Structure 1
Amino acid sequence: MQNKKKSFMILLTFLFLLSGCDYNVKKGQLEKVGLLIPETVNDQVWGTKGYKGLLNIQSKFEIDVYYKEGMNSEALVKRAVKEFHHKGVNLIIGHGNEYAEFFNHLADEYPSIHFVSFNGDAKKKNTTSLNFDGYAMGFFGGMVAAEMTKSNTVGIIAAHDWQPEVKGFMEGATYQNKHVKVKVSYVNDWDNEEKALALLEPMLASGVDVYYPAGDGFNVPVIERIKEKGCYVIGYVSDQSDLGETTVLTSTIQHVDRLYEHAAELYNDGKLQSGNLVFDFQEHVITMGKYSPLVEKKFQKKMDQHIQRYIKTGKLPNE
């Protein structure tokens, strides 16, 4: 009995040391993380994905995390950063491009905090902007749209004219189908559902039968309206196949949750660079979503081959 007890104590000591080693592997620069969201974490698209990324960080690094919603002005952001600082947060993520300029103003005041924004212009040594290169995902989405159109007319309702996925979609569509026409309208806002729906109506009347609503704040109501008309959609930002597999042909997905986790890992390891960083299919933070059963398996396989080639070589099908 004494020998069994001794063996049991040795085993417990070994497990304790093993767990201690695991902790040391995980422990790095990362202490606590704060997330600022302009609207809400419950929108099921952009805000929800950012919040999911924060929860992934909490789970992976076993640290305290905090978030604040409705952070849509510099004054609110300044107060939130001050509060996070008092709590010991040393990595703050601003879930949008508007935070880049706010963080540039605050960076010198909080040198112990690294500020991460999205699709902005980071100018200080403790600021980083994470950017998706949306051109390729737009190109592949355009290929699917051009393959599936029956009217040879596809349409884009985009948030802004600078979005690289818009140009990518246009060029992917014309590569796949030289007869296709691409109509484009701009909402000039990420969230204006009313304007997006108003821009949709003339496209529906003109015979557009495949759409790319490239604005995560308005694409769900636009897709619902398109579904009523029996037309097709390429989903945007999230895998939107759950909105109707006979409506959503596929989706161009930006895994911002994975990107934030990746950024936290880089920071923890002391490898997060300042400035503007760009990510694409190669980092597995952009992917294509589930295909509709209406898209032929042969074409799906061809698309997968194009994407794998792009991941390996950086070359699109027209290159």
Structure 2
Amino acid sequence: MAANFSRRQFLLYSSATLSTSLLLKACSNNSQTTGDSGGFKIAIALPGIITDKAWNQSGYEGVQLAKQRLGAETAYVEQVPQADQTEALSDFARRGYNLMIAHGGQFDAAIQQIAPKFPKTFFVGVNGAVSGTNIASLRIDHLQASYLCGIIGASMTKSSQLAYIAGQEFEATQQELRGFELGAKSIKPNIKISSTFTGDWNDVAKAKEATVAIISSGADVIYQWLDNASPAVLQTASEKGIYAFGNTLDQLEIAPKAVLTSAVKRLDLAIAFLAELAKQNQIKGQIYTIGLEKPEILNLGKFGTMVPKPIQEKALNTIQEIVSKKTTFDKCQEGGKNTRCVNKVGA
């Protein structure tokens, strides 16, 4: 069975006494039989919609890939607001799902609250920073990819002003911003990088408004990490004649005149990998971090035609330096805060 619990159905559930019957009805009305699941059930809770061509779609596709590979029974709920996270996770755990995927670092607090109550369910926070007996986090090393984009952005800017825009500020977005800064400053030490957090990954109007404000301030290269709102940033950049970066999926085709390249994160493959570990009872309560050493999961997308070959080659050579450990990003302190700094072996 593959079930879709719409946000409206879920909100009815979370506010009603007869919640179980309502949700089971939703399950029966929106399900598809997938054959013998071997008793293994996977669910995913998503902050946005599964057709955003970005973060949420990649998470949904990961569960679908796990269903194909493992024959698992799957379900999802999309557009889960922060206030409903604990109930969304609890619901699937109550109904015996073996693996509960919370697709976003904003679910961390809910996972920590719920997981101890359901020891038979293993919880995975994608982009999370938590671990425990039945808790793991799946992390893409966003800093590595954004470092490459920082190099490209600093090489392409004319104003020496770059900008980062994301939906929320938490550890993963902080890491991505840090990588973008480190990469840019490796090319131009005095370059300026501003950051904006819209408070909403999917609000197109907010994304466009923030992009226009960023451009008005003088930035001519934008690194964005949004979900359904990401095309608004890329298309606005194209309209205003500046450059931008795609994120999660290869987004060059959305705005080919603006997109320099994309930080491609194949979360579908990463999620399917952890699902396989879970089915084999080999998943551990730890943080799994995947970087450029697995190019099928983390890599750069296609380059825009405006990116000169020497800049492309610089970025690709830097990937090899990171994979071979000639360039590392080690824990350090800067300005009294814990962060990561670049370390070049032999430099």
Please state which band the TM-score falls in when normalised by the shorter chain. 0.7 to 0.9
TM-score by length of 1: 0.81
1:91-106 aligned within 5 A? 91-106=99-114
Deviates more, 1:50-59 or 1:119-128: 119-128
2:163 corresponds to 1:155 = yes
Give 1:168's aligned residue: 179
Task: Give the whole-Å Cα distance in 1 for the aligned partners of 2:320 and 2:37.
Answer: 34
2:131 corresponds to 1:120 = no
Gaps of 5+ in 1: 1-26
Structure with higher strand content: 2
Q: CA deviation at 1:248?
A: 0.3
2:320 corresponds to 1:308 = yes
RMSD: 2.6
Q: How many positions carry a matched residue from both structures?
A: 289
Asked if 2 retains the 8 angstrom alpha-carbon contact of 1:30 and 1:268, the reply is no
Task: Give the whole-Å Cα distance in 2 for the aligned partners of 1:98 and 1:184.
Answer: 19
Task: Give the whole-Å Cα distance in 2 for the aligned partners of 1:76 and 1:230.
Answer: 42
Task: Give the whole-Å Cα distance in 2 for the aligned partners of 1:209 and 1:109.
Answer: 49
Give 2:150's aligned residue: 142
Secondary structure, in 3 states, of the residue corresponding to 2:116? coil
Change (3 A) 1:140 1:193: same
Give 2:46's aligned residue: 37
- Listed one character per residue, the Cα deviations across residues 38-76 of structure 1 (whole Å, up to 9, x for unaligned) are 332122212111111011111112232222223331223
Give 1:16's aligned residue: none
Give 1:209's aligned residue: 220
Task: Give the whole-Å Cα distance in 1 for the aligned partners of 2:37 and 2:177.
Answer: 40
Q: CA deviation at 1:179?
A: 5.3
Task: Give the whole-Å Cα distance in 2 for the aligned partners of 1:120 and 1:48.
Answer: 18
Change (3 A) 1:166 1:217: farther
- Listed one character per residue, the Cα deviations across residues 175-208 of structure 1 (whole Å, up to 9, x for unaligned) are 1234533233332443444333333223322332
Task: Give the whole-Å Cα distance in 2 for the aligned partners of 1:193 and 1:277.
Answer: 32
Give 2:197's aligned residue: 186
Give 1:242's aligned residue: 253
Identity %: 26
TM-score by length of 2: 0.75
Gaps of 5+ in 2: 1-35, 329-341
Asked if 1 retains the 8 angstrom alpha-carbon contact of 2:63 and 2:268, the reply is yes
Secondary structure, in 3 states, of the residue corresponding to 1:222? helix
Change (3 A) 1:70 1:207: closer
Task: Give the whole-Å Cα distance in 1 for the aligned partners of 2:75 and 2:168.
Answer: 31
- Listed one character per residue, the Cα deviations across residues 247-294 of structure 1 (whole Å, up to 9, x for unaligned) are 100011222111101111222333311033322212332211110111
Secondary structure, in 3 states, of the residue corresponding to 2:153? helix
Give 2:266's aligned residue: 255
**One-letter amino acid matched to 1:143:** I
Change (3 A) 1:313 1:174: same
- Listed one character per residue, the Cα deviations across residues 92-144 of structure 1 (whole Å, up to 9, x for unaligned) are 21112233333333333332221111233434311111122221111110111
Task: Give the whole-Å Cα distance in 1 for the aligned partners of 2:39 and 2:319.
Answer: 34
Secondary structure, in 3 states, of the residue corresponding to 1:98? helix
Q: CA deviation at 1:297?
A: 2.1
- 1:77 is aligned, of 75, 86, 89, to 89
- Listed one character per residue, the Cα deviations across residues 2-35 of structure 1 (whole Å, up to 9, x for unaligned) are xxxxxxxxxxxxxxxxxxxxxxxxx999822122
2:79 corresponds to 1:67 = no
**One-letter amino acid matched to 1:58:** K
